[in-house]
Chain A
Amino acid sequence: MSTVGLNAKRPLSPHLQIYRVAMTMAMSIIHRITGVGLYLGMALLAWWLVAAASGPAYFHFVNRIFGSWIGLIILFLFTWTLVHHMLGGIRHLIWDTGRGLDKPMRDYLATATLVGSVAITILLWVIGSLVH
């Protein structure tokens, strides 16, 4: 097969850095990043469940790590990542029905995703610390 011209200078379609950052664009990028974060974070859930199934000594050991200040920061970020990805996903499901695609609604949904994710994350931690 001829490879002539495969490496020729061809025009490229505009990429990310060409565009001014818009709210919808930022939320789209964050949706992907939070997805990857949750993917890796599933290892923490597996670790915790295995610890619970392994017996009290190991469970307490793992809980002490999760309960340390760095553990709590990671779990707090994990919570926000989860809530943000869920709200972003619900936004995508709304779009899948063909609704909410006009500009005001797009911007509203993008802002609601961000504000809602921060608010729900704080709310969950307040509830968690109250029942604790």
Chain B
Amino acid sequence: MQTPLRRVLYLGSAREGTGHFWRQRITAVANVPLVIAFVVVLISVVGRPYPVVVDRLGSPLIAAMLLLMIGSIAVHMRLGMQTVIEDYIHGEGARVAALMANTFFVVVIAVLCGVAILKLALGS
């Protein structure tokens, strides 16, 4: 039996309610303008000399946009891969290992991109 308060606060057996779904949608919506902006920037630096590429990628607005995009993509890709893992990997040990590997991969990618962008924006 649930008290009215418990019913309001109940977030299901995983205790996150619609958190996964909602974060997937928020990052999906954020990804659309961010990725479009990134593609525009990418096309504008294709084939340009190195100093031009570094200057453009490291300019404050573009670097900020890139950081936002990496953050949004990192959350989105982790949630997406989590769903794929939970759908297809049924052994408990393998699933936990895959979910951990998913998190590690995403964090490494995000930190590599983040450090690179910050170096382009702030480095000499």
Contacts and interface: CB of A to CB of B under 8 A. Distances in A.
A53 B116 contact: yes
A49 B116 contact: yes
A57 to B, nearest CB: 9
Interface string A38-53: 1100110110011011
A132 B47 contact: yes
Contacts of B57: 49, 52
B13 to A, nearest CB: 18
B5 interface: no
Contact of B116 (A50, A56, A86): A50
Interface string B37-55: 0010001101100100110
A104 interface: no
Interface residues of A, number: 28
B31 interface: yes
Contacts of A128: 43, 46
B35 interface: yes
A38 B123 CA distance: 29
B65 interface: no
Nearest to A48: B116
Interface residues of B, number: 30
B32 A90 contact: yes
Contact of A36 (B29, B44, B81, B119): B81
A16 to B, nearest CB: 12
A38 B77 CA distance: 8
A42 B109 CA distance: 7
B77 A39 contact: yes
B98 interface: no
Given A38-B77, A128-B43, A93 B112 contact: no
The 5 closest A-B pairs by CB, nearest first: A49-B116, A53-B116, A53-B119, A46-B112, A56-B50
Interface of A: 32, 35-36, 38-39, 42-43, 45-46, 49-50, 52-53, 56, 59-60, 82, 86, 89-90, 92-93, 96, 124, 127-128, 131-132
